[in-house]
Amino acid sequence: MSIFRDSGVGDFTRGGQTTIHFIRMIFQVFKQFFKACLFIWLVVASIAFYLNSEPVERYLGFKWGESWVFVEGMKDTDYVMNINTGQGGDRRVRATSILHNKEVIGNVNNLYYKAIYALVLGLMGMFVAAWILLRFIHRTGKDQGAEEYVRGGKLVEINELKKITKNDPSLCDLNLCGVRMPKGADVAHIMLMGSPGTGKSVNYKELLTGIRKAKKRAIVYDVGGDFISSFYREGKDIILNPLDARGRRWDVWCECSESSDYIQLSESFIPDAPKADPFWTKSARIVFSSLCEKIGKTESPTTEKLMNALLRISIADLMVMVQGTDARSMMSEGAEKMAANIRGIIGSYAQSLRFLHDQGERFSIRDWVSKDDDDSWVFISCKADQRALMRPLISAWLDTASNALLSLQPDRERRIFLLIDELPSLNRLPSLDEFLAESRKYGGCGIIGVQNYSQLIRNYSKEGADSIAGLCSTWVVFRCNDEAAGATWASKNLGSTEALETSEGISYGSNEIRDGVNLSRQKRLRPIVLPSEISNLPDLHGYIRFGRGLPLARFVSKIRNYKVVAEGFIPKVLAASSSLNEDESNEDHSTEFTERREPYISESPVMESKDEYSFRQDEPFSYGDEQTDQDNISEPSIADDIGADIG
C-alpha cells in the first residue's frame, strides 16, 4: 500500500512491528535459555549429590522425610512405616520414633550439608554450561548469518597466514609483508601495486634486506638514491648513473659484439611511439644500430664518436658513413628530409649518451651477470628530475640485464633479482615478457612495482599489462586511488571466491502468526577484495597473495629505520660540453668540430677519402641537414611529433 511506503505512519508501523517482533523473539530465546540452565543445574546437582552420598544415608534420609510429612505435615502421630533392617527383613516403626532418633537426625544433617554442596557445585556447573551454550548459540547465529566458503580464494588475517607458513620447511629465505615466502615464490616473480606514498618502498627494503642476508645478487632500479643510501657498499657494489660521481664507465660496446646485440639495444633504447607511424621508429633503430656497429669495428670506438655521427656531422657525411650497412636505404641521396626526420628521432633519445663516464675501468652488465661467484649489486639510479633524460639509457640497461640472464646456462639454484620500481616510468622493455616467462630456470627473480594501471597500459597495452600480471605469482596490493581502473584491475588479479551467502528477510502482519524471520542461502561468485576496499585502504595497509593454495591476507607494514651507509646521489662535475652553444658563432663551431673529428675520420674505414668526407673550415654547422636544404628542415617533421610524445 502506498500509504505505508513513503509516510510517517508507514515508518512507525514498520518500526513498531519489527521492534515488537524483535523483543518477542529475544524473550523467547531467554525463556528457553533459562529453562535449559535450570535443567542443567538440577542435573549437575543431582549427580553430585548421588556421587557424594551413600545408599544407606539416602535411605534413612528418605524415611526421615516421609516421617516428617506424616507427623509434622499431616499431624498423624500414630503413623507406622516399614524400615529395612539391612539383615534381610523389615521392621515396623512409628514415624515419631524416626523423627526423634539421634542417629537418623545426624544422618539427615550430614545429608543436608551434602545437598548444599551439590547445589553449589551444580550452580557452578550451570554457569560453565551456560557459557558454553551461550557461545554455541552465538556461533550458530553468526554462522547462519555469515557466508560459507565453498571454493576459490580465501581471505584471512595476516597472523593466520603466518601460522600456516611458520613450520613449513619448504620456505625460501625472503620475508615479504612480515611473512616468509613459499619456496619458489621468488623465481615466480613479485608484483607490488599502489599509489605513491602507500608503502611499497617499505616492502622493497624488506625484500632487499633478505637478499643481502642471503648473499644473492641484485640489479636495483633506484629513483632518488633511497636504496643506495641504505644498501650500497663502496668498492663492492656498482652504480650506473652518468650523472653520479661514483658511476662506472659504460658504453654501447661493453654489451654488443654481434649484430643481434646492436639490434636488441636499439629496440630498448628507441621505444615505439604510440601516435606515430612505426616506420619512423623502426628506421631510427636501424640507423642507430648500424652506426653503433660500424663505429664498434674501428680501433677505438668511443661515445664521442657515436655522438658526432648521430648529432653533429652533416646529413651528407652521415649518408656516406652508413654506406654498406642496413641503414643505407633510409639515408640515400635524394631523401635528405627523411634522413633528417630519422636523425631527429634518434637525437631525442641519444642525449643521455653524452653524459656517460669516459674514465676508469669499463663495466659490462653481461659480464657481471655471468659471474656466479659474486654477491655484488648493481644500482641503476637517477634523480627524479633526471628520469626523463635518462629514461632511454636506463631502459636499455635493464633490458640488457634481462637478456643477459636468459643467455646463461640453466641453473635453478642461481638467484639474480631484478627490482624495477615504477615500471611505467621507463620506456617499454621489449624483453620483460620473455624474462618473466622464462627466467625461472635461469634463476631470475623479478620484483615489479606499478603505481598506476593506466600508465602501464600506455606503454604495454592492455594485453601486455595483463600478461605481466599473469606472469607474477605473488601480488602485494596497496591503496589504488583510481578505483575505476587500478583498483578494479588489482581486485581481479587478487582472485575471486565462491561462497554461500545468507540473506535474511522479516515478515510481519496484524496477526502474530505472520511474524517471522526467513533465512535463505545461495551460492555466489564474487571478488575476494572489492575495488572499493582497495581504494579506501590507509597508508601501509594492503593485501598479499602468494597463490600456491595459500589464502589471501590483509597486512599492515611496519616502518623500519635503516642506517644510512652512503649518500644517495653525488653529482658529477661535468666537463665543458662539446655540443653546440647557441651564443657562439657558427664559424667557431665549425672549427671546433673539424679539429675534434679529424682523428675520428682517419680511423673510420668509410672515411678514407678526406675530400669526400670532411668538414671545410668555412662550412657552417647544421644540426639537421645541409644549409642548402634549410627550407625543408624548417618545416614541421615527424621527429617533432614523436619528440612531443616521448617528452
**pLDDT for 580-624, tens place per residue?**
333 333 333 332 333 333 333 333 333 333 333 333 333 333 333
Beta pairing partners, 157: 554
Instruction: Return the sign of the alpha-carbon dihedral for residues 102, 107, 110, 111.
Output: negative
Q: Residue 93: its pLDDT value, please?
A: 83
**pLDDT tens readout for residues 389-425:** 999 999 999 999 999 999 999 998 899 999 999 898 8
The sheet carrying 155-157 orders its strands as 155-157, 552-556, 541-545, 474-477, 190-193, 444-450, 416-420, 217-223, 377-382, 238-240
Phi-psi map region of 572: left, alpha, beta (phi>0 left; psi -120 to 50 alpha): beta
List Cα–Cα distances, 66 to 59, 109, 541, in angstroms.
11, 16, 74
Question: How much is the pTM?
Answer: 0.71
Q: Read off the C-alpha cell for 320.
A: 656516406
Query: Helix (H, G, I), strand (E, B), or coil: what is residue 17?
Result: helix
Q: Residue 24: its pLDDT value, please?
A: 79
Instruction: Return the sign of the alpha-carbon dihedral for residues 53, 56, 57, 58.
Output: positive
Q: What's the mean pLDDT when you consider all of the chain?
A: 81
Averaging pLDDT over each range in 67-81, 342-356, 531-545, which range is the top one? 531-545
Residue located via cell numbers 637478456: 403
Averaging pLDDT over each range in 172-176, 287-291, 458-462, 607-611, which range is the top one? 287-291
Q: Determine the average pLDDT of the residues in 39-62.
A: 87
State how far the Cα of 562 lies from the Cα of 557, in Å rounded to an integer: 15
User: Domains along the chain?
Assistant: 22-145 (no CATH), 163-240+363-556 (3.40.50.300), 256-356+575-646 (no CATH)
pLDDT score of 173 more than 80: no
Q: Residue 647: its pLDDT value, please?
A: 32
Q: What is the 3-state secondary structure (H, E, C) of 519-566?
A: EEEEEEEEECCCHHHHHCCCCCEEEEECCCCCCEEEEECCCCCCCCCC
State how far the Cα of 26 lies from the Cα of 34, in Å rounded to an integer: 12
Give 509's pLDDT tier (boundaries 50, 70, 90).
Answer: low
pLDDT score of 341 more than 60: yes
pLDDT score of 161 more than 50: yes
pLDDT score of 289 more than 90: yes
> Comparing 407 with 104, which gets the higher pLDDT?
407
**Cα 435-362-426 angle, rounded to 5 deg:** 40
Q: Residue 626: its pLDDT value, please?
A: 36
**Cα 515-521-526 angle, rounded to 5 deg:** 135
Beta pairing partners, 554: 157, 543
Give the β-pairing of 474-477 and 190-193.
parallel
Averaging pLDDT over each range in 225-234, 349-358, 599-608, which range is the top one? 225-234
pLDDT score of 15 more than 70: yes
The single-letter code of the amino acid at 609 is S
Q: How far is CA 210 from the centre of its chain?
A: 17
Is 552:494 a contact under the CB 8 Å cutoff? Answer: yes
Averaging pLDDT over each range in 103-112, 137-146, 320-329, 388-397, which range is the top one? 388-397
Q: How far is CA 215 from the centre of its chain?
A: 24
What is the per-residue DSSP string for 458-484? HHHHHHHHHHHHHT--EEEE---S-II
Q: Residue 616: its pLDDT value, please?
A: 34
pLDDT score of 577 more than 70: no
Query: Helix (H, G, I), strand (E, B), or coil: what is residue 612?
Result: coil
Q: Determine the average pLDDT of the residues in 331-340.
A: 81
State how far the Cα of 169 lies from the Cα of 156, in Å rounded to an integer: 22
The single-letter code of the amino acid at 248 is R
The full length of the chain comes to 647
Q: Residue 169: its pLDDT value, please?
A: 63
Q: Residue 583: its pLDDT value, please?
A: 39
DSSP 313: S
Give 450's pLDDT tier (boundaries 50, 70, 90).
Answer: very high
Give 502's pLDDT tier (boundaries 50, 70, 90).
Answer: low
List Cα–Cα distances, 374 to 213, 237, 378, 419, in angstroms.
14, 10, 12, 18
pLDDT score of 512 more than 70: no
Q: Residue 95: its pLDDT value, please?
A: 82
Percentage of the chain beyond pLDDT 70 is: 82
Is 313:596 a contact under the CB 8 Å cutoff? Answer: no
